[in-house]
Amino acid sequence: MSEGTRPRPLEVALLASVFVVAACGLVYELAAGALASYVLGDSVLQFSTIIGTYLFAMGVGSWLSRFFERQLPAHFLRIELLVALVGGALPALLFLAHAWQPGAFRVLLYGLVLLVGMLVGLEIPLVMRILKRDVALRELVSQVLTFDYLGALAVSIAFPLLLVPQLGLIRTGLLFGLMNAAVAVWALWLFRHELRRFAAHAVACAATLGALGAAFAGSQHITSLAEDRFYQDKIVLAESSPWQRIVVTQGRGGMRLFLNGNLQFAQADEYRYHEALVHPAMAAHGAPRKVAVLGGGDGLAVREVLRYPSVESITLVELDPNMTRLFSTDPALVALNGGALRSPRVKVVNTDAFQWLQQGQDTFDVIVVDFPDPTNFSIGKLYTNAFYALLDQRLAASGYAVVQTTSPLVARQSFWTVATTMESVGLRTFPYHAHVPSFGEWGFIIASRRPWREPQALPEGLRFLTLEGTRALFDFPRDMARVPAEVNRLSNQLLVTTYEREWGKVHP
């Protein structure tokens, strides 16, 4: 490269700033989308609206940049500090709003996304105009866009695989806020001879770095403040994985597990849920040898399956390895599931259940499907006819599958949609329900190629089910009786919108 084409130090510094700016902007966008999906559900809808709002705001910011005519370095520095403060604090502010003022969450979410998007939209045009003084337009556009896209690529990979699992959303936001502030400090030094109020800018940079640094150091207190308020009971375990936020609380009623803020079980009555889920199918089979449990990484369903001496092997398919690790190593959680995940009869497979069904060949006498409710499309695919067709292929000719199927009282249409969907692939369905105080009336569906028969015996030591009580579970009163429903398909996933609509009547 000749001397005439070698990049100048100022050009290199500003292009590096473009890389950082692009990375930071995308982190704030991803953090807002992730929090919206945690709190509001339906991840596709939330990410779509967040991205659309953010891009619109960036367009507004780019248009506003035309009104910045003089002192461009000073404007760039101020905008960087504002982005650092607002973007860096965005996850923390949203967490606190969700815990303390849940009604304001949506307004604050989109207000912050609009503000951050406009500020980010101002950054790149100002950098380009600053660089334009020294770089030809053709090279300028290609270089700026190259570094902009590279920054976005780097953070899009790091966000789910490294940043959220290791730092959590609050610290990730604050870290990238500090990076934005570092760009401002770098601009302060680069343009020190052009800035008219150097001392004031230096104080602003120091104050921003100090505020973000203090917040980062106290991020655990911020998280605790928000989560303690939201969960009410004392939090005894909390960590983030690439798939979800796992929180375990301890209160008067014992431990409770929350995934992304949604209750999964309460120690006080989980036995009702898991006995109802497992035993009507297991006991009806008679002597199941090979069992698969899909979901249920807490090991509580596995605990119930292990009551049957005929069972030779249990394959637990759980997407999140953090779940199976916690429930096989933490003493309190291990005591809850009776050490089920440590049993030599149990094989843990950490993978997506849909893919596991597609790729395997083994068949099972009983398959227990214990997924969370279909609150978003990534879970909703596990309630489609495509999934149930795969499930049917892995079920032995005389086998039973049983699926937890939300509340037939609160989400009546959703419940019967699942039954209709299972029947659409040729399975016979046998719906039933049980009362679990923490959830209310809860539904399950047994599916098979042969009729379900009433169990002749149940394992010893059950706290909820009896033979007579099991028979009664299959009786539906009028307000939960079957209603017409459509098939839930991968191409439409109507169950997700139906579920959100029905539960929204109860939990606005």
Catalytic residue IDs: 370
The number of CA neighbours under 13 Å toward the Cβ of 179 is 22
- Asked if 441 and 411 touch (Cβ cutoff 8 Å), the reply is no
Q: Tokens representing 478?
A: 């009028």
d(CA 301, CA 346): 12
Please enumerate in sequence order all residues whose Cβ is within 8 A of that of 56, keeping only pairs 6 or more positions apart, or say none: 117
What ranges in 376-493 are assigned the alpha helix state H?
377-380, 385-393, 412-423, 467-472
d(CA 376, CA 182): 37
Q: In the block, which residue shows the tokens 């307000």?
A: 479
451 three-class SS: coil
286 phi-psi bin (left φ>0, alpha ψ -120 to 50, beta other): left
The secondary structure of 256-312, three-state, reads: EEEECCEEEEECCCHHHHHHHHHHHHHHHHCCCCEEEEEECCCCHHHHHHCCCCCCC
Among the listed residues 501, 503, 508, the one whose alpha carbon sits nearest the alpha carbon of residue 106: 508
d(CA 34, CA 277): 31
Q: Tokens representing 493?
A: 């996933």
The residues with which 313 forms a beta bridge, in sequence order, are: 290
Please name the amino acid found at residue 441: E
- Asked if 456 and 450 touch (Cβ cutoff 8 Å), the reply is no
- Asked if 305 and 278 touch (Cβ cutoff 8 Å), the reply is yes
CB burial of 183-207 (b: ≥16 within 10 Å; e: otherwise) equals bbbbbbebbeeebeeeeebeebbee
Among the listed residues 341, 347, 351, 296, the one whose alpha carbon sits nearest the alpha carbon of residue 319: 351
CA triplet 186, 187, 191: central angle to 5 degrees?
125
- Asked if 236 and 255 touch (Cβ cutoff 8 Å), the reply is yes
Widest Cα–Cα separation across the chain: 90
Q: Tokens representing 190?
A: 């680069």
Please name the amino acid found at residue 178: L
Strands 364-370 and 290-295: parallel
d(CA 268, CA 255): 8
